[in-house]
Amino acid sequence: MAIRRVIGSVTRVGFGVLATGIAVTQFFFTIDAGECAILFDRFRGVKPKVYGEGMHFRLPFIETPRIFETRARPRVIYSICGSKDLQVAYTSLRILFRPDIEFIPEIFLKLGEDYEHKVIPSAAKEVLKLITGKYTSVELLTDRRKVSAEIKSELAKRLAKFHILLDDVAVTHIRFNKEFTQTIEDTQIAHQNAKK
């Protein structure tokens, strides 16, 4: 009989400690390295404070943390563009971007948590088409650094309006249609044969 009472008491104390522990953890949220968060209050909306890494207090069921990645993330954009000499260029552009931490609440209010899917592809394709149209197909192949730098400059201006920072932009691949590629190869072979 005494053993049953002891087991019953230990069980009640165990469930009490477990319930208290679960309840206490609902009052805190943790932000990992390379992330930040804002709190969404069910009554007042998005709070303006941006929370950095560490453990922070919240009111359970009233405040919900929205976590944003602040590390630079890659995104590859594929586009079909026209060059200055009217050749079709199939290009891919690699972008390293991150949100401006200071403006996370504004980004969340205007664009949402998936801001990069709403802004970056359209802006990158528009800038890519604008810049590749300024260069001939040969210039696109030979001056890739210059083209990438010009794309980065223009894209940084456009994304700054949405508080998105660019760390790097690079044209990773440029391909032309088969007929044009064959013409370039034939020209190179003719030049090599002429040198012999």
Give me the pLDDT at residue 180, please.
77
How far, CA to CA in Å, does 100 sit from each of 8, 21, 42, 104?
55, 36, 25, 7
- Whole-angstrom Cα distance, residue 84 to residue 27? 60
Q: What is the pTM of this model?
A: 0.79
Give me the pLDDT at residue 19, please.
64
What is the b/e burial string over 12-48, where b = at least 16 CB atoms within 10 angstroms of the residue's CB? eeeeeeeeeeeeeeeeebebeeeebbbbbeeeeeeee
Give me the pLDDT at residue 156, please.
95
Regions in the chain scoring below 70 on pLDDT = 1, 6, 10, 19, 21-24, 196
pLDDT in tens, 6-46: 677 767 777 777 767 666 678 899 999 999 999 999 999 99
Give me the pLDDT at residue 176, please.
86
